[in-house]
Structure 1
């Protein structure tokens, strides 16, 4: 078997660091949101993608969200089907992601303000074996309105094509992606609340009759 020399190891480590750096830059909003959602198609929600929501991209056509499995606060296995009937703001985050940490209190305040039987912020940690890290972060930062959800396998990132953190999907009550945001945002701002309230109105039973 061929041996790997110090020079080859250095090259491999350098490539890995470049990949991590690219993910972090995307998390800082350095990616091109149009490439991910392609939502230049007119949409009622896209018209509200202004201010804090400027990077939000409505899906050209609402599409079924691939199945993912994760754990709840009591260690129970959950899927997005467990949230059927609610508009879900699915935020993929990790404690090692600085922009994720910065926006988590705003997501907590959004849940406190708008959370109901019709809407929930699902902040899904993708910390590998990071139950303790994620719980400690919640406790140290007073995150008490959000439920605790974690995917210790981090498979959700790949399954949902979330190539940078944070990535946030807006999912309709029937389980379809209607838009996404790549990068952090002021989730408790008025621009955000207007967009969420519009999505709730569009998904209300009367809007589908």
Structure 2
């Protein structure tokens, strides 16, 4: 009797064994598929976002380089006279605006740059209005910034930064936009409405990048 039971148990085990192998195989395939997706995603390089979609309306003259450009290491000065470079702002989206108090289009667009900075006050966005005015006109620069809070005074009276850009600035105003890695992603010669939907869309696209 015990021999018959043993044979029956062996037969049942033999029937269950292929089923167990099949279930195990399916689970292994599933795990392998999940791991593949995770690994593939980690190595996937999407590259920098295309900003040409914002080349319209007030940003119609926007220049979007095919390959991001390196930022110059040129020194300029903050409101206390401390020497700084663009590298000091790495980790933030930087909207660098080269301007002068004697430049009417520069003064026209300045309030829109102030609005842009104010709209993203809690996010890693830095608007850098860099004046090329002479030292003797510092009071005029300070007055312009005071009228356009929360913008701060930055200066390059030597014009060096304008010439160290590649290609160099064509005139004033010139606005150059850098991503969080410190790379030039767009540039606009002349004035624009930096509080416009297309300007905010461009900034938000760069803020979303990691």
Q: Shorter-normalised TM-score: what interval? A: 0.7 to 0.9
Please give the per-residue CA displacement for 1:87-140, whole angstroms capped at 9, x wherever unaligned: 10100000011100101011011100023451111111111223222012223x
Residue matched to 1:196:
203
Give 4+ residue runs of structure 1 displaced > 6 Å after superposition: none
Offset at residue 73 of structure 1 (A): 1.2
The residue number in structure 1 matching 2:31 is: none
The residue matched to 1:61 in structure 2 has which SS?
coil
RMSD (Å), alpha carbons: 1.3
Instruction: Kindly indicate whether residue 210 of structure 2 is the aligned counterpart of residue 174 of structure 1.
Output: no
1:184 pairs, out of 176, 191, 197, with: 191
Matched, 1:111 2:124: no
Instruction: Name the TM-score, length of structure 1 as normaliser.
Output: 0.72
Alpha-carbon contact 2:133-2:156 (below 8 Å) kept = yes
Residue of structure 1 in register with 2:162 after alignment? 157
- Where do 1:126-145 residues align within 5 Å? 126-129=132-135, 130-139=137-146, 142-145=147-150
**Contact 2:145 2:152 (C-alpha < 8 Å) held by counterparts:** no
Specify the SS of the correspondent of 1:59.
coil
2:93–2:124 CA contact under 8 A, matched in 1: yes
CA contact (8 A) 1:115 1:121 kept: no
Cα deviation, 1:167-196, whole Å, max 9, x if unaligned, reads 000111111111100110011111211111
CA contact (8 A) 1:86 1:119 kept: yes
Paired residues in the alignment total 159
Question: Is 1:78 aligned to residue 110 of structure 2?
Answer: no
Conserved 8 A contact 1:164-1:183: yes
Contact kept? 1:128, 1:154, Cα under 8 Å: no
Structure 1, unmatched stretches of 5+, are 1-42
